[in-house]
Structure 1
Amino acid sequence: MSDPHRHHHAHHHRDHHDRSQDAHAHHDRSPAARWRRFAHLLAHRLTPHCHESADKLDPALEASAHGLRALWVSLAVLGATALAQAAVVVASGSVALLGDTVHNTADALTAVPLAIAFVLGRRAATRRFTYGYGRAEDLAGIVIVLTIAASAVFAAWTAVDRLLDPRPVAHVPAVAVAALAGFAGNEWVARHRIRVGREIGSAALVADGLHARTDGYTSLAVLLGAGGAALGWRLADPVVGLAITAAIVLVLRDAAREVFRRLMDAVDPALVDRAERVLGEVPGVRGVGELRLRWIGHRLRAEVALVVDGEATVREAHRIAVAAEHALLHAVPRLSAALVHADPAPCPGEADPHLALAHHAPA
């Protein structure tokens, strides 16, 4: 019943316009400009307004900016790691290290679609995209899953090819050092992505962080392959390459599951329980009917039907609805807005007020 973000946008736009006008008048010091500035300032002071929402950065925009910073930092770290590993691959011919390098490169490049999604998610809603562009983050998740699948296919193909045509691995110590570098770079990126992803509520960023962590373990597997090659086992390198492929497939399964759940509007049931409990404690609420939560990007939206006193006035029912939304915004992390509908408590002998809608309900 209320949308605080619409008011926030209006205040932000007005204050930005006011600052632009003041800056323009500051550069023009003519008498006419001074009079316009005085009139504008007087009107601004006498017009009722509020700066509280305008002076604070929108949480969704702040979260997107935080996610973007994490992506660019991780892209730089993984890019440098992959370049160092690629140089060793060329010198050594290690197929296990090649698979790890390709996977690290793919992991670094997944930051690009996710960054585009974060930028799109910051755009305001329009009359066509009335919920905004937050779903772009879920589409980026699909791109990430497809990228992981492609890297698994490539790693498997190179490992099988080397099994059929074994070749010695040169510069084994360099391969070992490159494997350790891959583990260190991936583990740092994993911790950074997971921490930021959990802070802003981005399942795609958390999944990408878990992906990077598994990449670190595959780098350690490359280290085992280098050890086997040093001991004279020629098949150690391609066998480890196949093990890396299996690890990538496991990551693919987990990432696909997370993306599928977001696309199907799945939420943690504990959030629903918390929301119901908080709503039931709002003064004036006699019961909680339908309650729905859904992710749009890394922000949550809620739709709630509350039962209130049937004799309550429209203003009283609206006050209860606003109080309910306010309580939800404080209780449910990363909730951006809630649409609250008030239903009158049933009276004996009274027909169901929703009876006229019954024939529209799905079978």
Structure 2
Amino acid sequence: MRQESAHVLVRRRVVDLADALTAVPLGIAFLLGRRAATRRFTYGLGRAEDLAGVVVVLLIAASAALAGYESVTRLLDPRPVDHLWVVAAAGVAGFAGNELVARYRIRVGREIGSAALVADGLHARTDGFTSLAVVAGALGVALGFPLADPLVGLGMTVGILIVLRDAAREVFGRLMDAVDPDTLDAAEHTAARVDGVRRTGYLRMRWTGHTLRAELAIGVDPVLTVGQAHRIAHDVERRLVATIPRLSAVTVHTAPHEG
């Protein structure tokens, strides 16, 4: 019995170690993202952060697989657990710590536009769920229901899979250049209000690390000189960069527009 309670605590420490290790690919990605663009990598290395996000998603998937495997194993081969209150106390502490870390990472990730950091925060939340499962399982066993531990574990596995879906949506959406449609609407509205812009055409945006880049077409008076059209394009770029959060650069194409 003592071996089993020790196994639960060791497994908890292994999960915490896996959570800490996610800081390694993220740290490397952030350092690479700061490097200046080169003739080979003309947009810099901001995409390294997206790759780090994929690593985090894979770790969340591994957590779900481990939780499911352990739960099924214990359901088929129930084993007693001693020192229940010690296990429960460790679980409560683990849940509280991981949830605080998760909220901080998610908040900062949203602020700086980092899908990878948001995914890492969600990963910390899955660890919190695992700790919560330990607590619920220990309480169930203490109340005389030995199957509570594996059944709660299966429920937490489902919860981790839900978190995995959210994290994968963040990371793979970024890899596929997904941008909030409201951001595009705001950019089009801002560009249309610049003096000299008669219409706005196509608008494309994509993330590179923490920042957005955009391409926009605008229509101007056909009698304008090249210099005048260029000044309008520059005004559009300056206004967009000042207005749209995380937007760092805009390529503005001008075309004559009658009317």
Are 2:121 and 1:206 aligned? no
Q: Tell me which residue corresponds to 1:246.
A: 158
One-letter amino acid of the counterpart of residue 279, structure 1: A
Distance 2:254 2:3 in 1: 68
Distance 1:277 1:99 in 2: 53
One-letter amino acid of the counterpart of residue 156, structure 2: I
Q: Tell me which residue corresponds to 2:149.
A: 237
Distance 1:260 1:315 in 2: 41
Q: Tell me which residue corresponds to 1:19.
A: none
Are 2:176 and 1:278 aligned? no
**Higher mean C-alpha displacement, 204-213 vs 301-310:** 204-213
Q: Tell me which residue corresponds to 1:112.
A: 24
One-letter amino acid of the counterpart of residue 228, structure 1: G
Q: Tell me which residue corresponds to 2:168.
A: 256
Which whole-Å deviations, capped at 9, do the CAs of 1:309-333 have from their partners, x for residues lacking one?
1111111011001100000011100
Shift of 1:116: 1.0
DSSP-derived class of the 1:113 partner: helix
Q: Tell me which residue corresponds to 1:333.
A: 245
Distance 1:169 1:247 in 2: 24
TM-score in terms of structure 2 length: 0.93
DSSP-derived class of the 1:146 partner: helix
Q: Tell me which residue corresponds to 2:234.
A: 322
DSSP-derived class of the 2:217 partner: strand
Q: Tell me which residue corresponds to 1:92.
A: 5
TM-score in terms of structure 1 length: 0.67
Which whole-Å deviations, capped at 9, do the CAs of 1:12-59 have from their partners, x for residues lacking one?
xxxxxxxxxxxxxxxxxxxxxxxxxxxxxxxxxxxxxxxxxxxxxxxx
Structure 2 residue runs without a partner (length 5+)? none
Q: Tell me which residue corresponds to 1:186.
A: 98
Stretches of 4+ moved more than 4 A in 1?
97-102
Pick aligned residue for 1:177 from 89, 100, 122: 89
Distance 1:323 1:99 in 2: 58
Which whole-Å deviations, capped at 9, do the CAs of 1:161-198 have from their partners, x for residues lacking one?
22222111011111011011111111110121122112
Which whole-Å deviations, capped at 9, do the CAs of 1:255-292 have from their partners, x for residues lacking one?
11111211111100000010001000101111101111
Distance 1:129 1:227 in 2: 55
One-letter amino acid of the counterpart of residue 205, structure 1: L
Are 2:82 and 1:165 aligned? no
Which whole-Å deviations, capped at 9, do the CAs of 1:221-242 have from their partners, x for residues lacking one?
3211111111222222222222
In structure 2, relative to structure 1, the CA distance for the partners of 1:185 and 1:90 (3 Å cut) is farther
Coordinate RMSD, CA, aligned: 1.9
DSSP-derived class of the 1:285 partner: coil
Alignment of 1:12-161 (within 5 A): 92-93=5-6, 95=8, 100-161=12-73
DSSP-derived class of the 1:213 partner: helix
In structure 2, relative to structure 1, the CA distance for the partners of 1:203 and 1:90 (3 Å cut) is farther
Alignment of 1:292-311 (within 5 A): 292-311=204-223
One-letter amino acid of the counterpart of residue 147, structure 1: L
Distance 1:215 1:198 in 2: 20
**Greater radius of gyration (CA):** 1
Which whole-Å deviations, capped at 9, do the CAs of 1:60-107 have from their partners, x for residues lacking one?
xxxxxxxxxxxxxxxxxxxxxxxxxxxxx9671465x66654443332
Shift of 1:212: 2.1
DSSP-derived class of the 2:194 partner: coil
Distance 2:222 2:150 in 1: 73
In structure 2, relative to structure 1, the CA distance for the partners of 1:115 and 1:124 (3 Å cut) is same
**Residue pair 1:99, 1:241 contacting (<8 A) in 2 also:** no
Structure 1 residue runs without a partner (length 5+)? 1-88, 348-363
